[in-house]
Structure formats: C-alpha cells, structure tokens
Structure 1
Amino acid sequence: MPSAGLSTRRAVQLAALLALAVFYTAQLAGALLPNVPVFVTASLAGLALDLYLTHKQPGLLALLGKVRFDVTTRQLLRDMLIVIGLVRIPDVPPDIERPLTLLLLIAYAAHFLCQAVAQLVRRSRTLPVVTRNIDASALNLSNAPSRLLARQPSRRLLRFSVPGTVGLMLTAGSNVQEWGLVGVSCSFLLSLGSAVYLGTWMLPRKRSRSEQEVLAWLDKWLADYKPTVGMYFSGGTTSAYQANMWLSTLAQLDGRPLIVLRERFMVQKIDATDIPIVCIPKVAHLMRLEHSTLRVLVHPANSGKTSQVLRIPTIKHAFINHGESDKLSSCNPYAKAYDQVWVAGEAARERYALAEVGVDDRDVVEVGRPQLSPIQHISERAAVPAGGYTTVLYAPTWEGWDGNPGNTSVVLAGENIVRHLLADPKVRLLYKPHPMTGSVDPRAGAADQRIRAMITQANAERGIQRRDPQAVAELERRTAALDEVTTTAFRPSADEMERMKIQGTPEEGNAERVRAATEAWEAAYWASFPEGEHQIVTGPRPAIFTCFNQADLLISDVSSVVSDYLSSEKPYAVANTSGMTEEEFRGTFPTVRAGTVLTPDARQLPALLESVRDPAKDGLVRARQELKAHLLGPSDPPSLARFNAAALELAAEAEARNARVARRTAEIPGQRETEEAAEEAEMEAPSGDPEDAVTT
C-alpha cells in the first residue's frame, strides 16, 4: 500500500535525522573528552551516513538544505570537529593542526573552484533552442562531462572528502601525521584535477556555439525545411499526454509539420515521432518564427505562454483542445484569442454558443476527432463476450480544481461501483483512474487506494491461475522491442546538448516500426493475463483507446473519455455525483443522453450488465448512433480529411493576410522597420508574462 510505503519512508527519514544528530554529538564528545574510538567511529559513520543519504534520501537532503544545513555545511562541521579532536588528542603531535587546517582550507578552495568551473560549463552548454529529430551536426555538439563533476556538487564533495577523512582518522588513531597530510592532499588533488578537466569543455574543440550562431543555424534550418503547419505546446511535467494524442494526426497532414515547445524538459516527454521538434524557451527567440514559412499553429491546450506566440501576426492559430467534454473547461473564454476553434461536432459548437464566452460561431470549425481511428466499432466485437466474461472499463476522471463533487465519481460512488462489479462472477474489471487522481483532494486519493485494494482482494478470492510463463516471456520480449524503437538510450551523464546530438534525423520508416511494435506489445499485454483477472491499469501503457477495445461497457464521469468511447457505439454509463436529478443531469450534459446514469449507490448496474449481455435488452443503440454523430460529426468525409482541409484553408487565409499586409507595408517606406524596432524594445524590457501551468 502506498500509504504504508509513505509511513516507512518517513520513519527512515526520521531515523536518519536522529542518527545524524547522534553522530555529530558523539563526534563532539569524542573530540572534547577525548575518546579516540568514539571520535573515529562517529566521524566515519557520519560521513558514511551522508553518502547513503545522497543516494537514497534526496528528499530529506532537500529539506535540510532549506534550513541551511546542506551538504557543504555538514561536511564543514564534520571537518571542524575533526580538527578539534586532533588538537585535543594528547598523542597527536601538537603542531599538526596548522598544516592540516591550511590544507583543508586549500582543499575546500579547490572544491569551490571546481564548482565555479562546472557552473560555467553548464551555462555554456545551455543552448537557446533544443531540438529533436533535426540534424544539428553543424553546431559541433559535444558529449557532456561526467554528471558527478558537472551537476552533482554534493556527491562530489562527499566522495572527494573520503580520502581526507580516512587519512585524518588514521592520524588520530596512529598518531602519524603523514596519514592526514596524504589523505587531505588526495582530496585537494581530486578537486583541482576535476576543475582542470572540466575546464577543457571551455576550449574550442568542446565549447558550444554562441547564442547568435545557434539562432542563425535555426533560421537556416527553418528556411531549408519550410514548415507549413505546427503544433504549439507548453505545460507542466504531467501534461505531455495532451500533445501526444495529436502526434499521429499532425504527422498525416499535408505539408511539413513541426512541433514547437517552450519547456526544455518537454522535449523528452513527447512520444516517439518523426516530426521535427523545436523547443524555444525565450519569447524573443520565439518571434523568429514570424520570418519562417510556418502558417498554421494548432494548440491542444491553453497556458500562460500561449499569449506570447499569439503575438506573431504571420501565423494563424487554431485551438484544438486535448479532449471535449461537457465541462466548462471545454468552453474556456481564452479560446476567443485564437483565429479559429476546431471542435469535433455540432455539440461543441452549441456548447460555445450557450457558454457565451466570446467565441464567434463563424470561427468554430467542425473537424471531428481524427485520433479516434484506432477505436474498434461495436460491430467488430463478438455478440457474446469471449470466455463468458463481460469486460467493464471503469475510467473515472480526477477531482478538478474547483472542488465540485460532480467532477469525479471516485469519492462518492467509486467504491460502490467497484463493489457491484466485483460481486458479479462474470465481470472482468479494468480500472483505469486518471493519473491526477488525488492531486487536489486527498479523499479522492484515499478512495482510489481502497478501490485498488478491493480489486487485489477480489483477484485473490477468484482463485486466478498463475500467468502463463510463455505469455509473460512474450510480453517481456515485446516490451523490449517497443522500448528499443520508442526510447533513446542516453548515458547517465548526458545533458540536453548531448541528447540533442544523439536525437538527430530519425531513421527512415521509424514511425511504422513504432506503430507495429506498439500493436504487437498491446496484443501481448492483454494475452499475458489469465482469463477473468481484474486489472488495475496505470501509466501510459496501455493507452486508453486499447482499453476501449477490450471493454464491453464503459463507466466514467462527465469527461472527454465518454465522447471518445462513443465512437465505438458500445454501451456506457456515467456516474451522477453532482446532486442533480437524473433529468437535470441529462439536460445539462449532452454526452449523458445515450447512456445509463448511475446514482452514487450504483444500484442500476445489475440491469445495465444484463442489457450488455443481451443486446435485445439494449434500448439505447439508436440513441448512441445519433449522439455519436452529434458529438463527433459525420463519418464521411473522414475526420482526418476534414482536419487536413481545415489546416489547408487556414494556411491559405494566413498567406492571403500576409500578402495584403506586405502590399500595405510597401506603400509606406520605413513602417515595418519602425514596428519591428518597437516590438524588439518591448521584448527586451522586463516581462510580466505569466509562466503558469496549463489551465485547460
């Protein structure tokens, strides 16, 4: 249980803090008494504990750093107590403290010199742009220095202190001053040698190009590649899925696609793709896109940094969202900042009109949901579930930021839903909670853990046979094959420049290999489980769409999951924990109209399961077909064709606009130069642009 793990971790951290206090106290007592065995043992044990904490308890060290008791302070205190001990121990030569103290100070000076050089190297290797799937060999990128030397000063200090501490302890125990001098000299030479070694990265052979040279290279690459349509994305560490769901669609558009990011870490968060990726953190550098051939940017999410790219007049912007639901977040007033809002079907158009958030109906374009093509239609499923088990996917959403009890069913209805499903011997449950469940409301996280415990217990009581070793071996083989084509192996010391060097132009046919490996992995994953075993599905694999294909019935909340699942036309249910009556609930949320509404006690589930097993009792077939067309648009022409046509049309509008402006600018000599100078001055001034996380 995670709660038990949390308690254990806190207990370990508390024990470590107590041990640190005990060792420092014992070291001080051993130095003052003096007691050589206590002194030596406490000194070595304290250093060993610190080495352990740097590897196993970085969270605790971060807390100690906040109270100004970081690694450097702790090592200085430890060395100071060692010097005191050497002075107090009678058998140690009386004049040893002066050369040893001086040598210790020189060793620390070498450490700080090494740290200064490491900082210079890191700064020199921080490029103004980061790319992926782009040949950057012209930039003469080099591999990164050792992570221990360049980016881990705490570990470096502790490890390099080992010879000095051991030598000083040998002096304390043997009364031979040479041990201490040799040990501290070794620590000094390690730090000094590391500083000199790191300094070689500042030489021309390893030093990176200047900012202006890198930006000039980017301009040249844009001119050669000639991008036409791109996806702009900015967000937090857990938001990459919002962009990843659009990768396959973007790759199939006419023209030359491009992905534009703003956060450096996001470059590695984007899934395997052949599309060129450019991360441009600074807004001043972002404006260079204005002079490129890029004409359309689609936006799967809103963020504080979105307003910055909207300032580029040569590019048209379309908001495509990362999912459509009946929630207010699907009608964010920020949408009116875009040139167009692309939605799946007529329902979203009506939603914007009713929300009155300032989005002109003429700017709403229905393009369908092209990424739903992997979802199997109900006609592709057997009339009677295979093996006699009815597979039910329970995929609740998270609790949201506003505290509305109707956002997620996990808190008020989740355990009742799962209890009913587990009580049916012919149900196989797939539980896939939203990855952010419990991030705002602890009650949701606690309910999620109780649900997982219920499922684990149900599997034990069902007496599921062991997983087939051959199937498990096949899954492991497919996992390794998928990892090979979707992940890039980096050295532990690799920094973003080295990763940029490695992730150049992708191999031809890479996208097809990824697709085939993914399909093979999914087949092996589902085949690896015994028939009838309930499953808790977390993480990016398997994706939600492949869970849809396994399910005979979906139970969810008011979210985009319901809209996407409707493309299969299979039965679904929506939990009503809002406090509304069923009539009010159906009237407020159109996605509910063709599904079963579950009350918090989930008493409707037995009848719902019966209708899934006997299609003759399913009275919502036609309603689902009609609602699907209303939510997702017509099936002909295909969604991808409509999406592509919308992109081409918007690009044509951008071209026409740019041509008109160019003609007007040509008629007023000097006007454009004045405008550019004003824009440049504005960007160089202190900016108050928000840097907040994704709001939609």
Structure 2
Amino acid sequence: MLLLLLCAQLVGAQLPHAALLCVAGAGGLALDLVLRRWWPAALVPLGRVRCDETVRQLLRDLLVVLGLAHLAEVSTTVRMLVVAGLLACYGAHFLTRGLAVLVRRSRTLPVLTRNIDASELRLSPAPPRVLTVAHRRMPLFSVPATAGMLGTVASGEAVWSLLGIGCSLLLFAGAAVWLAGWLLPGRRPPATEEVVAWFQRWLESYRPDVGLYFSGGSGTAYQVNMWLGAVAALEGNGLVVLRERALVPQLAPTELPVVCVPKVVHLMLLEHSTLKVLIHPANAPKTSQVLRIPTIKHAFVNHGESDKLSSCNPYAKVYDEVWVAGPAARERYALADVGVDDRDVVEIGRPQLAPIHPYTGPPPADGPITVLYAPTWEGWTNDPGNTSVLLAGEQLVTALLSDPRVRLLYKPHPMTGSVDPRFGEADRRIRALVEAAETRRAARAGSSAPALANRRALLRRSTGALAERGALTATRAPVDDAAAAELARRTARLEALTTACARPGADDAERMLRESAPDEGRAEAVAAATRAWRAAFWAAQDSEGHLVLTGPRPDLYSCFNQADLLISDVSSVVADYLAGVKPYAVVNTSGLDERSFRAANPTVRAATVLGPDASGLPALLASVVDPRRDRLAGARRELREFLLGPSDPPSQVRFQRAVTALCAAAEARRAREALRGNGERQRSDVTR
C-alpha cells in the first residue's frame, strides 16, 4: 500500500494533479505512522530491501518538491529555500543517528546487574526512544514539513512550505542538541574500569557461595527460569550469572542477585571471589569459558530429562558432577558410554515439580475428558521420531476432536518450526483444526454472537499484554463476564508485578538503575499472583471448550493439573508429567516397532504407545474413564520413582545436600592449593 501511494504521488506530480498529489502524500505519511505504531511487522520486508523510513520519507519529499515545481507558482528562491531546509532536516536527522550510536556505546556497561545496589555508579535514565530510534523520529518529525509543502501545493502560498519545514528543522535540530546532553560528563555512565572495580568490591562484600550460570539465545530463558526458585531456596548466598545482555530482562522475578558478564576478561573476576559452585541448566559454547576457573566446582543439572540423545550429551563429562533426577538418567549415561563417570552422577530429583497435583481418580462420568497434547519440536537433527507434529499431529487431533467426550488442550513447543518450516506449517494446521472445532462446539452450545463478542473483547483486554509477548492464545471467550472480569483483575496485578521496572525505550543502564535495590518479597508476590492468575484463567474458560495455548502462560505444569490424559513425544514433558502419576501416551513416529520403541525409551515403559494413525486412541480414552481398564497404573508408580527418584526425602532436600557436598569439595581443593602455595613459599625462603 505504501508503494502504491508513492506511485500515486509520482503520477500526481507528473500530470500535474494537486488533489492526487496531496491525498497520496498525506496518506502515505499517515499510513507509515499508523503501521509503525500498531503493526510494525508489516514494515519489516521493506527494511530488508533497504527501503526504511528514511528512504520512504526521502521519496515522498522528492515527489512533493517535484509537484511544487509543476503546480505552485513560487519563486526560484523559495524553491531553493525549501530544498535547503529539507537538506538541513536530513542533516540534523543523520547527526542525531550518529549521536545515538555514541550515546548507546557510552551507556554499554561491562557488567549488568539486578537486585544489587548500583547507586554508587551514578546511572541515569536512557534518552527518550524518539531520540535514539530513527524509524520513530523520521516520519513523526517530518509531519510539519510534509503538511506545509502540501499546503503550498493546494493553495499556492509559499509561506506554508517555509513554515512547515522550519518547524521540522527545529524538531530535528532540537533532537540532536537534546541527545548530545547525554554525552556531557555529568550524564555519562562511569568508565569500564570504575564499573569493574565496583563489581569487585561487591563480590568481596556479598561473598557468594553458589551460583546459577546460564548462556543462551533468545527464547531460551525458560531453561534458567525453571531453576531460579530451587536455587533461591538454598542455604548461603546465591547468585545468578548470565552471559548475554538480552537475557537480563527475560529473567523471571527473583530476589537473587543477578550479574550479566558478557566478556571473558570480566568473567574471570569470579576466580578471585568466594564462589564455590556453579550450577549449569544447559550446555552452551560460552560454558567452556567459565569452566577454566579452577576455584569453582561445576554441576550440570540440565533443563529437563528425556530419552533423547541430548540428555546424555558427551559434553557433560567436562563438569565436576552431573546431577540427575533419578536412577533412569544414571542408567542412561552408563548405557550411552559418553565418558561420564558413574561416581560423578548425583540423583537430586526435580525440585520444580512440586506444583504438580497427584492423580485423584478418573474424570466425572458426566464431564469431559481433558486431553493435553503437548508435542515437542523437531530438534536439530532429521530424526522423524523427534516430534509427532508433522507425521501424526493432524491425524491425532482430528481423532480427538471427533470424540464428543474430549476437551482438547493443544500446547506446542515454542521452538516448533524454528529449524524446519514444514513443522511450523503443520503446527498452524493443527491450530486451525482446534479453532474450527471450538467454533462449531460453541455454536452448538448456543452462545449468542453479541455475548461471545463482548466476552472475547474483555478477555483481550485482560490478556492483551501477555498475548502481545506471545504468552497466550485462547481460541474462545471466557465462560461468563464475572469470570472474565476476575481474570482481567488478576492479569493487571500480575502485569504490574512483572513489568514494574520496564519502560519503553529503557536500556540496560536504566534497567540496572531501576532494579538496583532488591525488592523484598517481590518473588513471593509474583508467585502468589501467578497462582491466582492460573486459577482465574481456568475459571474463565468453558470446561468443555478446546484451547490452543502458547507461550509461558498458562505454564505447562498448570496444564498438567487440568489434564486427565497427556499425549506427547519422547521428551522431558513425559518425565515431568509422571510426577502426578496420571495416564499418558507417547506417539511413535520413529519407525520402530512397539517393543523396540519401549526398549529404546524408558519413559515409554508405562505409556500407551500410539502410532501415526492414532488407532489406539478409543481404548486409551476408555481406560482413562474406567480405572479398571487402566492396566498401567502400577507401572506408572514404579516408573515415577525410576525417573524422578524417591519422594522422601523431598527433592529440594536432596538438591541442598548435593550443593553442600560440592561446596565442601571446592573448599577442600582451595585448602590444598593454599597448603601447596605456602609450601612453595617456604622452600623459596630456605633457598634464598
């Protein structure tokens, strides 16, 4: 549409036709502003071909100047002033862009922190986004100039062009002057040396004992977030160590001190601290950098356990210890023969699984069977058995939706389709099937269109911020207005707690300033608000309505508690679901026969195995409704202990014991190193 309006401008300038030129010019600028404000994704393709906001505005201005030459009876002097004024506007715009780069570099700190008092660093808020983001500034500040020139085209009065361009020039020049103020000595953040010295002093005063170390790309923060609560509950002084700046705002609320150290040279400062143990939820290229520190012991806990090869990666042998949930993982490492010594494997359970409710019996005879279909993603290999989405997903969902007793919750893995687009397309087709089935079901239930529209609008308002971040997609309206209003209140409370320190345009330094003081009790308040939000969300949904659920809310464990049956793939989802000992099924798309499939994957031992055609689904649903047909109940209880370890002592207790023992090993090593150092000094003194 933008390109069509530019073409219309060209025609209006060449004919010449004042009305067409004015309408196309004003419409193009207005559309640019509207798209940038409410639908920025539509402008991404233009940016990829280097047709960004500055180029588009330049084309609009050139066409309007061409129209002035053909339509307006203005003198050569006025036309030269118009061109000179526009050139000055663009010069000020590019000057501001250069200043923005300098300001951004000056505010890039070597260490970022959360929950640590940084008042000593004299940090300041970031400049407004309109000063630092070119695609916001250019079309907005060009409005007076464009309006003035179009006014001259329409009326023939040159004063409108000069007045409009003068206003735009003042805006562009004022932005440059205002932004330059952030480069003055009083507003510049401290130098790298000062920040590093401050960080060293903080380490000496805080004296950390155990840390949670994480490095990863966008969308991987969930891997470290799942361990925050368990680490925060440990004895001693805990710490979170991140390596990528983008992960800091993605970290869940926690009262633990958080430090982000992007460069290796600053990471090595941990060697001279009291830190004894680092816990690693994931393998990453930057993990090898921190493993160089000899004074720290390292334990790998993973972010989930499954029968996939990635759960017994040979890289695990670089850690001092590998902490696993139960005997199954110990056996998995032994069978894989990847170099992990059995003496270094420690069973700690899964502290995160406490929120999962235990099995309380079959669903009510008159109620729906809630089935959670939570497939994993395609992974980095071409193994067809990684996920069922492509080979079995549509057949399985179609079969489930055809049974009037089934209420389907579809929660795909967030990385589905990130490697192979075919899986993303299959995921979208499955979502369409669920949404269409829910529309038909709601129509049969007799929901009136106005009532449905009102409830959906209220639901959008209550979850708008969450959905905007990819946190929620619900396929239907809440069950009544009161429930939707309660969900709106709970959403507002949760948003206020989780985004209290966020501001559009805030950079790392400003976030560090705003989050420098630990907010006592905030983590507990967020946990309570999250529990209340979960309850309000499920209460706001029709108990028989199908749902497509994406993103972090509602979380997977909350979905577990709603489900009577899980259908998944070979993944950590299955092991975690077994904490509730409920019936579950695993889809076999590996090409193996059932006996070989069970033998290769211990998590399938107590599962119903479904083929790509979903032929065993009716018998599976019958066993969920009638426990007498459930011949796998005892096997699930045995497999739960095999996968997750015993219930007594609790997992958090075993986690604490493992941390304490490894801290003692680190202290013993430091003591031996100190003795060796003293012995060498004594021998040196004797020699002299």
Aligned partner of 1:645 among 635, 646, 657: 657
Q: Which sits farther off after the overlay, 267-276 or 91-100?
A: 91-100
Q: Distance in 2 between matches of 1:205 and 1:300?
A: 41
**How many residue pairs end up in the alignment?**
650
Deviations 1:308-337 (A, max 9, x none): 111112111111101000001101111112
CA distance in 2, matches of 1:200, 1:259: 34
1:20: which partner in 2?
Answer: 6
1:358 offset after TM fit, Å? Answer: 1.8
Work out the CA distance in 2 between the residues paired with 1:102 and 1:395: 62
- Structure 2 partner of 1:414: 393
**1:143 alignment counterpart:** 125
User: What SS does the corresponding residue of 1:95 show, helix, strand or coil?
Assistant: helix
Question: What whole-Å deviation, never above 9, does each CA across 1:661-685 have from its counterpart, x for those lacking one?
Answer: 2333455569xxxxxxxxxxxxxxx
Kindly indicate whether residue 382 of structure 2 is the aligned counterpart of residue 403 of structure 1: yes
2: CA distance between counterparts of 1:262 and 1:108? Answer: 38
Q: 1:471 to 1:157 in 2, by over 3 A?
A: closer
Q: Is 1:471 aligned to residue 510 of structure 2?
A: no
Structure 1 residue identity aligned to 2:670: N
Query: Secondary structure, in 3 states, of the residue corresponding to 1:192?
Result: helix
The 3 A distance-change label for structure 1 pair 75 and 412 is closer
User: Contact 1:131–1:278 at 8 Å: present in 2 too?
Assistant: yes
Give, in whole Å, the separation in 1 of the partners of 2:427 and 2:508: 36
Q: How does 1:190-205 map to 2 (within 5 A)?
A: 190-205=171-186
Distance 2:363 2:235 in 1: 42
Given residue 11 of structure 2, which amino acid in structure 1 is its aligned partner? A
Shift of 1:59: 4.3
2:612 aligns with 600
Q: 2:404 aligns with which of 393, 405, 425?
A: 425
2:61 is equivalent to residue 75 of structure 1 = no
Contact 2:2 2:28 in 1 (8 A): no
Aligned to 1:110: 92
Determine if contact 1:400/1:407 at 8 Å carries over to the other structure: yes
Counterparts of residues 451-462 of structure 1 (less than 5 Å): 451-462=430-441
In 1, Cα distance between the equivalents of 2:24 and 2:484? 49
Taking a change above 3 Å as real, the CA distance of residues 98 and 456 of structure 1, as seen in their structure-2 partners, is closer
The alignment partner of 1:278 has SS state of strand
Which residue identity is paired with 1:536? V
- Please say if 1:562 is aligned against 2:567: no
Match status 1:634 vs 2:616: no
SS at match of 2:298: strand
Moved more, 187-196 or 319-328: 187-196
Equivalent residue for 2:218? 237
Q: Confirm whether residue 499 of structure 1 aligns to residue 511 of structure 2.
A: yes
Q: Greater CA deviation, 228-237 or 406-415?
A: 406-415
Q: How far off is 1:186 after superposition?
A: 2.2
- 1:260 is aligned to 241
**Structure 2: stretches of 5+ with no match in the other structure:** 448-478, 683-688
1:84-113, CA deviations, whole angstroms, 9 ceiling, x for partnerless residues?
444455721133333333333333322222
CA separation in 2, counterparts of 1:105 and 1:458? 58
Q: Partner of 1:302 in structure 2?
A: 283
Shift in CA distance, 652/227, structure 1 to aligned 2, threshold 3 Å = same
**What is the distance in 2 between the residues matched to 1:536 and 1:46?**
37
Aligned residue among 305, 313, 317 for 1:332: 313
- The separation in 1 between residues aligned to 2:409 and 2:48, in whole angstroms, is 43
Contact 1:389 1:426 in 2 (8 A): yes
CA contact (8 A) 2:12 2:18 kept: no
Gaps of 5+ in 1: 1-14, 671-696
CA deviation digits over 1:351-380, x for unaligned, max 9? 1122122222222111111111111222xx
Deviation at 1:494, TM superposition (A): 2.1
Cα distance change of structure 1 residues 211 and 586 upon mapping to structure 2, 3 Å threshold: same
Contact 2:5–2:27, Cα closer than 8 Å, also in 1: no
C-alpha offsets along residues 153-192 of structure 1, whole Å, 9 cap, x if unaligned? Answer: 2331222222223333344444444433333222222222
Secondary structure, in 3 states, of the residue corresponding to 1:246? helix
Equivalent residues of 1:385, 1:552 under 8 A apart: no
Q: Identify which range, 320-329 or 170-179, moves more after superposition.
A: 170-179
Paired residue secondary structure (1:410): coil
Task: Note if contact 1:133-1:504 (Cα within 8 Å) is conserved in structure 2.
Answer: yes
Question: Residue 412 of structure 1: CA displacement?
Answer: 2.0
The residue number in structure 2 matching 1:134 is: 116
The match for 2:364 is: 385
Superimposed CA distance per residue, residues 97-131 of structure 1 (whole angstroms, 9 cap, x where no aligned partner): 33333333333322222222222222222211221
Deviates more, 1:323-332 or 1:270-279: 270-279
Deviations along 1:40-96, one digit per CA (max 9) or x if unpaired, are 444444434443444355445444344343333333344344444444557211333
The answer to whether the Cα contact below 8 Å between 2:115 and 2:519 also exists between their aligned partners in 1 is no
Which residue does the alignment assign to 1:441? Answer: 420
Greater Cα offset, 632-641 or 523-532: 523-532
- Cα 1:413–1:83 change in 2 (3 A) is closer
Alignment match of 1:508 (pick from 520, 545, 551):
520
Between stretches 48-57 and 179-188, larger displacement belongs to 48-57
- In the alignment, the residues of structure 2 paired with residue 60 and residue 572 of structure 1 have an alpha-carbon distance, to the nearest angstrom, of 42
Q: How much is the aligned-residue C-alpha RMSD, in angstroms?
A: 2.5
Q: Is the 8 A contact 1:464 1:533 kept in 2?
A: no
| Offset of residue 223 of structure 1 | 1.6
Counterparts of 1:387 and 1:481, CA distance in 2: 35
Aligned AA for 2:617?
Answer: L
Note closer, same or farther for the CA distance 1:160–1:389 as it changes in structure 2 (3 Å cut).
closer
Cα 1:146–1:330 change in 2 (3 A) is same
State the Cα distance separating 1:429 from its structure 2 match: 2.2
Distance 1:337 1:657 in 2: 17
Measured at CA, do residues 619 and 168 of structure 1 come closer, stay the same or move farther in structure 2, by a change above 3 Å? Answer: closer
Distance in 2 (CA, whole Å) between partners of 1:138 and 1:77 is 49
Secondary structure, in 3 states, of the residue corresponding to 1:578?
coil
Runs in 1 of length 4+ with deviation above 6 angstroms? Answer: none
- Secondary structure of 2:230 counterpart: helix
Instruction: Report sequence identity in percent.
Output: 59
The 2-side partners of 1:577 and 1:255 are apart by 47
Find out whether 1:99 has 2:84 as its counterpart: no
CA distance, structure 2, for counterparts of residue 534 and residue 102 of structure 1: 62
Paired position in structure 1 for 2:145? 164
CA offset digits 1:504-530 (Å, max 9, x no partner): 333322232222222222222222223
Question: Which secondary structure does the structure 1 equivalent of 2:559 belong to?
Answer: helix
Which one is further off, 579-588 or 453-462? 453-462
1:385 and 1:490, CA in 2 relative to 1: closer, same or farther beyond 3 A?
A: same
Match of 1:317 in 2: 298
One-letter code of the match for 2:147?
V
Cα distance change on mapping 1:35 and 1:483 into 2, 3 Å? closer
Greater alpha carbon shift after TM alignment, 57-66 vs 599-608: 57-66
- Which has the larger displacement, 134-143 or 77-86? 77-86
Say if 2:8 and 2:20, in contact at 8 Å, map to a contact too: no
How far, CA to CA, are the matches of 1:617 and 1:36 in structure 2? 80
Residue 680 (structure 1) aligns with: none
- Alpha-carbon distance between aligned partners in 2 of 1:649 and 1:156, rounded to the nearest angstrom: 57
Compared with structure 1, are the counterparts of its residues 423 and 124 closer, same or farther at alpha carbon in structure 2 (3 Å cutoff)?
A: same
Classify 1:446/1:110 alpha carbon distance in 2 versus 1 (closer, same or farther; 3 Å): closer
More deviation in 56-65 or 404-413? Answer: 56-65
1:485 to 494, 497, 512: 497
